[in-house]
């Protein structure tokens, strides 16, 4: 059993909505860091293989079945695992070695791709088996993504994080402009099995780069949280962060509506454009080329416009592109629409991603990203299924027209769910807390713990004190406190007591370790209101102890539930 040790200062990422705007770094600045260059270059090959595999799977499904819904489910099978498993992956990313998680995820996807290629070569694939393999590859992606995205804060400074995220989007979309066309040629010449084999080989450079990377993770001051506790802490932080909730809500709407293009594009190419696998690859390449342009425009647009206006442009631009695609029968017009759609796709999703990372301290960034991915990819998985059903019943044109209308509504939602601008709030650990030395035997699991903090506040300062305590409540609950309450002494009305509970002693230490420098302003203002020369509140740390047998306690508890007679 672990004995409790004083917490050490951990690496952290700062920023959340509100305050002064974040300075815009050059998009190429992260390339000066060798680790970033190495991993970014390796992802190019991995992204190329993934896109070649996606073309092979999408076109193979279109040849295996005439069902529009089954074709759209290929997109769902890729995104559904991200919705289902991202929360667990985020908790793992915050509590365990991210590099090892990424290596395992890449190895799992490589082996799954080899098995998929062998089954395709042997002619064993049917629609449901193909969906199973794409689902398993999606599971690897779900495990990989939170650790990969959270690792950006381990590799580049905070000010360069937006550029690093944009460069990662650019890496994917550079290959999206090339990979689908390459995939279409491979499928047309050598068949889907060759496309799947290319994907399996593409994981090797990234696995090698991850093996060579030796990140200097800080030594753990406390034992890892259990999975349930970690998920609960992440959910609590997100629920107490309105800016994050707004981003996730808009991300879910955008993912639900925008995925209609990727889900139904094989059918558009086959039915409206009369194309082949190569045509499908070229049209996907147009989407990727537009996305590359969107990544390049991201920084300049953010420098000139508020984040909410960038998001609205992305929603409305994508809506126009989908409407044009729904009516087009010419490949040139369709490709022009896909260029616009790709640019808007990256403008929205990269901005959402950066906002989540800059609004979250390092201790919970993996979980915050996983909740964001669950919302966004959940919207994508659900949307792909819904648009496929609508296409089966009413046709592809109607499905795309309805998706365009949904995107317009998503832009209007900004009136209520505004994506706020970046700021300079410092989310590094405050590091003021010093663990007390208990005079009784305490271990990690000792508890429950009750904390009571006394404040002597002059009557004229009561309103100001209550306003500060409202903010204090949010901070406490966000960082793991339970049953928070503010009490006033009946006999000494200028004496106030803040109380809260935590399940165990180690949870109490974690709670204080999570305090950020941005929270210091609230604590300092509270101390300024305290009467007396030292301006220090009195803190009581109490541990619950049973004074009656558990069987008797159970009887007493049950008796309180009996009805009155």
Alpha helices in 65-97 (DSSP H): 68-95
Apex CA 42: angle with CA 36 and CA 43, to 5°?
90
Read off the DSSP letter of residue 142: H
Could you tell me if 185 and 311 are in contact, meaning their C-beta atoms sit under 8 angstroms apart? no
Residues in the chain, overall count: 565
CA 345/CA 337 separation, integer angstroms:
12
Name the token pair of 331: 């490949």
Residue found by looking up tokens 């832009």 in the block: 411
What is the rounded distance in angstroms from the CA atom of residue 191 to the CA atom of residue 123?
A: 11
Q: How far apart are alpha carbons 131 and 76 in whole angstroms? A: 9
How far is the CA of 142 from the CAs of 136, 148, 317, 325, 544, in angstroms?
10, 10, 28, 30, 41
Report the candidate in 522, 461, 529, 514 with the shortest Cα–Cα distance to residue 236.
Answer: 514
Tell me the residue ranges of DSSP E strands in 347-425. Answer: none
Q: Is 544 helix (H, G, I), strand (E, B) or coil?
A: coil
Closest CA to 256 of 135, 399, 395: 399
R_g over Cα of the chain: 27
Q: What is the pLDDT of residue 1?
A: 40
Q: Residue 183's Cα: distance from chain center in Å?
A: 29
Crossing angle (nearest 10°) for helices 68-95 and 242-267? 150
Structure tokens at 432: 């003021």
pLDDT for the residue numbered 428: 80
List CB contacts of 433: < 8 A, sequence separation 6 or more. Answer: 7, 512, 513, 515
Chain position carrying tokens 């190895």: 107
Closest CA to 366 of 14, 92, 36: 92
Helix (H) or strand (E) holding 137: helix 127-155
pLDDT in single tens digits along all 565 residues of the chain = 444 433 333 333 333 333 444 455 567 889 999 999 999 999 988 988 988 888 888 888 888 887 777 877 787 787 778 777 888 999 999 988 899 999 999 999 999 999 999 999 988 888 899 999 999 998 998 899 999 988 988 898 888 888 888 888 778 767 766 777 788 788 888 888 899 999 999 999 999 999 999 887 777 678 888 888 899 999 999 999 989 999 999 999 999 999 999 889 988 998 889 888 788 878 888 888 898 888 888 888 888 999 999 999 999 999 999 999 999 999 999 999 999 999 999 899 989 988 998 889 988 999 998 999 889 988 988 898 899 899 989 999 999 999 999 999 999 999 999 998 876 678 888 888 888 889 888 888 998 999 999 999 999 999 999 999 999 999 999 999 999 999 999 999 999 999 999 999 999 999 998 998 899 999 999 999 999 887 889 999 999 886 766 666 565 555 555 444 3
Q: Could you write out the three-class secondary structure of 246-279?
A: HHHHHHHHHHHHHHHHHHHHHHHHHHHCCCCHHH
Q: Residue 25: what pLDDT?
A: 56
Whether the bond into 448 is cis, omega within 30 of 0:
yes
| Helix or strand run (H / E) with residue 501 | strand 495-502
Q: What per-residue confidence (pLDDT) applies to 447? A: 86
Give Cα separations from 352 to 92, 214, 250, 413 (angstroms): 22, 29, 9, 15
pLDDT of residue 473: 96
Strand order in the sheet with 495-502: 482-488, 495-502, 449-456, 538-543
Q: Which of 478, 470, 543, 471 is nearest to 506 (CA)?
A: 543
Give the predicted TM-score (pTM) of the model.
0.78
CA dihedral over 210, 154, 234, 359, signed as positive or negative: negative
């Amino acid at each position: 059993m672990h004995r409790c040790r004083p917490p050490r200062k951990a690496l952290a990422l700062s920023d959340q909505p509100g305050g002064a705007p974040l300075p815009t770094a050059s998009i190429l600045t992260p390339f000066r860091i060798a680790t970033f260059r190495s991993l970014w270059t390796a992802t190019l090959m991995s992204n190329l293989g993934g896109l070649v595999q996606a073309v092979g799977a999408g076109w193979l499904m279109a040849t295996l079945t005439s069902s529009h819904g089954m074709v759209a489910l290929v997109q769902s099978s890729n995104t559904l695992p991200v919705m289902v498993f991202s929360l667990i992956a985020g908790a793992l990313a915050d509590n365990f070695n991210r590099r090892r998680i990424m290596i395992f995820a890449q190895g799992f996807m490589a082996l799954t791709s080899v098995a998929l290629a062998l089954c395709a070569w042997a002619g064993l694939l049917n629609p449901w088996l193909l969906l199973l393999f794409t689902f398993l590859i999606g599971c690897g992606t779900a495990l990989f993504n939170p650790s990969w995205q959270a690792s950006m804060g381990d590799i580049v400074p905070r000010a360069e994080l937006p550029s690093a995220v944009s460069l990662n989007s650019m890496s994917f979309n550079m290959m999206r402009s090339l990979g689908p066309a390459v995939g279409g040629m491979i499928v047309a010449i050598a068949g889907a099995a060759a496309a799947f084999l290319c994907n399996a080989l593409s994981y090797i450079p990234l696995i090698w780069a991850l093996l060579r990377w030796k990140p200097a993770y800080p030594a753990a001051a406390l034992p890892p949280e259990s999975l349930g506790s970690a998920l609960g802490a992440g959910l609590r932080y997100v629920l107490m962060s309105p800016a994050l909730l707004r981003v996730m809500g808009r991300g879910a709407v955008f993912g639900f509506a925008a995925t209609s293009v990727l889900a139904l594009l094989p059918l558009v190419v086959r039915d409206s454009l009369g194309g082949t696998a190569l045509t499908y690859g070229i049209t996907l390449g147009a989407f990727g080329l537009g996305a590359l342009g969107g990544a390049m425009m991201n920084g300049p647009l953010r420098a000139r416009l508020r984040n909410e206006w960038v998001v609205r442009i992305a929603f409305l631009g994508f809506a126009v592109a989908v409407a044009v695609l729904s009516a087009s029968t010419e490949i040139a017009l369709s490709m022009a629409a896909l260029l616009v759609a790709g640019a808007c796709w990256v403008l929205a999703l990269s901005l959402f991603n950066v906002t989540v990372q800059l609004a979250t301290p390092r201790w919970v960034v993996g979980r915050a990203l996983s909740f964001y991915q669950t919302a966004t990819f959940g919207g994508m998985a659900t949307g792909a299924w819904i648009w496929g059903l609508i296409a089966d019943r009413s046709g592809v044109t109607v499905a795309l027209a309805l998706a365009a209308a949904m995107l317009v509504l998503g832009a209007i939602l900004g009136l209520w769910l505004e994506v706020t601008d970046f700021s300079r709030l410092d989310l590094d650990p405050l590091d003021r807390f010093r663990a007390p030395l208990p005079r009784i035997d305490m271990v990690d699991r000792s508890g429950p713990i009750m904390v009571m903090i006394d404040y002597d506040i002059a009557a004229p300062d009561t309103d100001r004190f209550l306003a500060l305590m409202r903010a204090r409540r949010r901070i406490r609950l966000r960082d793991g406190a339970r049953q928070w309450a503010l009490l006033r002494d009946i006999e000494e009305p200028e004496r106030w007591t803040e109380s809260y509970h935590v399940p165990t002693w180690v949870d109490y230490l974690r709670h204080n370790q999570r305090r950020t420098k941005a929270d210091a302003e609230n604590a300092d203002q509270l101390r300024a209101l305290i009467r007396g020369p030292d301006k220090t509140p009195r803190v009581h740390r109490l541990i619950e102890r049973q004074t009656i047998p558990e069987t008797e306690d159970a009887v007493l508890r049950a008796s309180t539930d009996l009805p009155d007679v």
